[in-house]
Amino acid sequence: VPRPMLKLVVFVVGLLGTSSVSVSVPLRNAAVPGLMMPMVGLGTGYYTNVTEEHIATMVEQWLKLGGKRIDAADTYYGAAGVGVGWKRAKVPRESFFITSKVGPTMPLGYNETLHQFNEVITKQVQSDYVDLLLIHWPGTEPPVVHADADNSRRPDAHKHKHPVPPCKKGRATYKHCRQETWRALELLFKQGKARAIGVSNFETNHLMDIIEMKGELPAVNQIENNIYWHEPELQRFCVARNITFNGYAPLGTPDVMKSRWKPICSENPVVMEVARKYPEATVAQVMLQWQVQQGIPVNPRTAVHEHMKENLDLFRFNLTAADMWKLSTVAAPSPPQPFKVCPDPQTIP
């Protein structure tokens, strides 16, 4: 099902020739004044077991190449490798940007969130603060199908079950959990332990639970975003409220999806046709450029040194408006193969 972009935001025009390392976006709402988020980060989330050493080597290489942002989470395999890696790189902590996330496998809730940050996350990243702290998921992991949720976007959603978090016991929805967890993030923000706070995988209804609290608004909403899966209406909702829309799985995680998607994003005929017009760029760079030209910071995940260099070498070309539109209307593989990499947050009411 194609998801056409209803409004293109041309972001990079005028930055041609600028290194990706030097391009950042300002964070607003719950962010310290003047905080900038580097446009290209290193994703560290793996879907198969990897070691702490594997992540440490990735992070060290990335920072030595000049990378300025690392996307991490407590529940990622080898998460403690983030702290090991940046220490090995021998770079000042203030010279780069770390994102981490609370939940979803650990319980949501106020006290639970404070414990997870203070006792787990700070030790993983070997820092007493993070630049951006997110609520990883609007419920607990793995997601479950709820009778009152829209499950139409996830063909295999019926297979998922989940534990009931302490903050939900006796309550009908996850709203209380999200709000209690957000209150904890607000405290960490006020204490200076998180320079900005936000959410991840939040759909509009989940964001409204935070907005109606009339406190701090999220600085960021990190959402799956790639050629096959993008949500222009949610993007516009966020942009209208100064919530930076941050894309993960921007290349469609080809190592995971090659057995599910025929073809994977990089082998889609339309994508390859567009990429041939830009001989100075790789297919992956074209797919990333399609996103950063919309003003979307991206978190491509790779352990390959040459791919890291490519990810840091965007902004040497601009996609035309016609090519932006072509990439925005690429048809995803048809069901029964799910065309979403990660579980669907719309299954969480």
pLDDT tens figures, 70-95: 999 988 889 999 999 999 999 999 99
Which residues sit opposite 26 in a β-bridge?
36
- Nearest to 253, CA basis, from 300, 201, 305: 300
pLDDT score of 245 more than 90: yes
Q: What is the 3-state secondary structure (H, E, C) of 178-217?
A: HHHHHHHHHHHHHCCCECEEEEECCCHHHHHHHHCCCCCC
Cα four-point dihedral sign 261, 267, 272, 273: negative
Q: Do 242 and 29 touch, CB atoms closer than 8 A? A: yes
> 94: which DSSP letter?
G
Read off the pLDDT of each residue in 230-252 and give the average, rounded to a whole number. 96
- DSSP class of residue 40 equals B
Angle at 68 between CA 62 and CA 70, to 5 degrees: 70
State the chain's maximal CA–CA distance in angstroms.
Answer: 59
Angle formed by the axes of helices 283-292 and 321-328, nearest 10°: 100
Mean pLDDT, all residues of the chain: 86
The HSE-up count of residue 220 (CA atoms within 13 Å, CB side) is: 36
CB crowding 19-57: b at 16 or more within 10 Å, else e:
ebbebbbebbbbbeeebebbbbbbbbbbeeebebebbbb
Structure-token pair, residue 1 = 């099902």
d(CA 56, CA 82): 6
Token pair of 183, please? 């209150």
> Which residues lie across from 25 on neighbouring strands?
37
pLDDT of residue 186: 98
Decide if pLDDT at 262 tops 90.
no
Distance CA 73, CA 69 (A): 13
User: SS3 of 55, please?
Assistant: helix
- Here the tokens at position 154 are 């996830």
Closest among 209, 233, 212 to 223, alpha carbons compared: 233
pTM of the model: 0.89
Q: Which of 28, 167, 29 is nearest to 102 (CA)?
A: 167
List C-alpha distances in Å: 118 to 111, 128, 207. Answer: 11, 8, 25
- Residue 265: pLDDT above 60? yes
Q: What is the pLDDT of residue 344?
A: 86
Q: Percentage of residues in the chain with pLDDT exceeding 70?
A: 83
pLDDT tens readout for residues 118-140: 999 999 999 999 999 999 999 87
The pLDDT confidence band at residue 158, using thresholds 50, 70 and 90, is very low
Task: Compare 3 and 323 and report the one with higher pLDDT.
Answer: 323
pLDDT of residue 170: 64
Element (H, E) at 323: helix 321-328
